[in-house]
Amino acid sequence: MSADPTTVLAFETDCHIFDGCGFQAPGLHSFLFEPIFGDADSNIYFNKTMLLALLGTVIIVGFFWAAFRKPKVVPGKLQMVAEAGYDFVRRGIVYEIIGKKDGEKYVPLMVSLFFFVWMMNLWSIIPIAQFPVTSIIAYPAALAIIVYIVWMSLTFRTHGFVGGFKNLTGYDKSLGAVLPMVMVIEFFSNVLVRPFTHAVRLFANMFAGHTLLLLFTIASWYLLNGIGIAYAGVSFVMVLVMTVFELFIQAVQAYVFVLLACSFIQGALAKHH
């Protein structure tokens, strides 16, 4: 197994353009990590991404616990920030998509998803960590599975087996002869494609963003020699630009993930599909 991205950068420390060494571009090896302890072939395995996921969870829980353990009518700064974040998800996403009446019970789940995804994305630009956990497909897939289970459970609990099947297949007698084809397309779209794209959308954006950041970071150091210094400066500017852009994308992807989760739940609760 290859080393993590920090090892790649360490490898490039003594390697510059015109030194006779080739440029080692980031690739899949940049997303593989040696175990902190345990072995990949054993039942006990713990690596950097798992550590970041665990730390992220502790940070989120700790933040909201500290903000709301002694809530005040006139909130302090920490409580004000936490309330703003909570209210953004509740009113800006859940209420807008599901509705206030039906959506209130799903607010805790959506707030948890939003801040967990956002925190996992933010690790990409935090010094030392410098890796988005969601660029490993297993993490977005696990979150998408949670949403999928909630979605399917609500669909059949709300409409029954037959009604749930009609809901998932877009059953509408007015479609006439094309109804069977529409039902097949809708079934595969809802049952297979939607959960897949729900996970891949988040994964692909964070994977691509991290790869670009690595590319320009390594290139900045590699070009730092002779006349290549001018190009190194341009590459470093791109690192800064990409970091700012990643901050935006990280928040957007957390928003989109929760937005889609709410749209699935809204569809499950809808009386007519």
Coil, helix or strand at residue 137: coil
Q: How far apart are CA 205 and CA 44, in angstroms?
A: 30
**145 pLDDT above the threshold of 80:** yes
Tens digits of per-residue pLDDT, 75-116? 889 999 999 999 999 999 999 999 999 999 999 999 999 999
- CB within 8 A of 147, min separation 6: which ones? 113, 195, 198, 260, 261, 264
For residue 118, the enclosing domain spans: 61-269
Task: Kindly state whether residue 54 falls inside one of the protein's structural domains.
Answer: no
pTM: 0.88
Q: Is 179 exposed, middle or buried (0-12, 13-18, 19+ CB in 10 A)?
A: middle
**Phi, psi (degrees; rounded to nearest 5) at 38:** 90, -170
Question: How many structural domains does the chain have?
Answer: 1
Among 51, 2, 62, 273, residue whose Cα is nearest residue 158? 273
Task: Kindly state whether residue 222 falls inside one of the protein's structural domains.
Answer: yes
Q: How far apart are CA 157 and CA 239, in angstroms?
A: 49
Share above pLDDT 70 across residues of the chain, in percent, rounded to a whole number: 93
**Phi, psi (degrees; rounded to nearest 5) at 88:** -60, -45
Task: Kindly state whether residue 113 falls inside one of the protein's structural domains.
Answer: yes
pLDDT at 245: 94
As a whole number, the mean pLDDT across the chain is 88
Tens digits of per-residue pLDDT, 200-241? 999 999 999 999 999 998 888 888 877 778 888 899 999 999
Task: Kindly state whether residue 126 falls inside one of the protein's structural domains.
Answer: yes
Which whole-number Å values give the CA distances from 42 to 29, 37, 50, 133, 244, in the listed order?
21, 11, 16, 22, 40
